[in-house]
Amino acid sequence: MMHSVIKTLDKVIGFKTAQAHCDIPCKIYDPSTALLAALSCVRLMDLIKEVEDKASIGVADFAQISRLVSEKELACTEVKEAVRIIWGDYFKAPQFEQVANVHDLVHSIMLQASKCKQGIDRLEGEKLIGLVNDFAEAFWFTKGVATYRAACPYPPMLDVVYPDLKN
């Protein structure tokens, strides 16, 4: 009965939907989400550049640029969200002792992701990937997991940090 009352109230009032990491904590954290989002940011910058380099631009191109910019900004927000959750929920005193500069690193990621939202300079996107790679290495270090860097197998084919799970 309570469920039906709440459901009816939701139809009338329209409760806002909240989305968040579970905060149980589930102990399932992985910086790959942030890395994929940072790669998406750079890829979207590349696609914007492809449209910019066309000899002539039509209405469809302007619509495409609008969609690409929107997705780029969402990707940057996803980087910030994924890093913030790991930093805020996973990192505790023992991890802060292992990675003394993690606060500065996270702050740098936040600033760099904002810079990427504000522009379309690929070099800024590459800097974001570099910072997120550093964060991924720090995260896996606190887990005692070795890492390696390799080019991702899809555009923009930049080096990213992977956990070496074979050892």
Residue percentage of the chain with pLDDT more than 70: 86
Domains and CATH numbers, the chain: 26-163 (1.20.120.400)
The 3-class secondary structure across 113-151, one letter per residue, is HHHHHHCCCHHHHHHHHHHHHHHHHHHHHHCCCCEEEEE
Q: How many CA atoms lie within 13 Å of 70's alpha carbon, on the beta-carbon side? A: 6
Rounded to whole angstroms, the maximal C-alpha distance in the chain is 63
Question: 155: cis peptide before it, omega within 30°?
Answer: no
Average pLDDT over the chain reads 91
For the chain, the straight-line distance linking the first and the last C-alpha, in angstroms and rounded, comes to: 53
Predicted TM-score (pTM) of the model is: 0.85
Q: What is the pLDDT of residues 9-30, one digit of tens each?
A: 567 777 666 454 555 667 789 9
Mean pLDDT, residues 40-66: 97
Work out the burial of residue 3: count CB atoms within 10 Å of its CB; fewer than 13 is exposed, 13-18 middle, 19 or more buried.
exposed
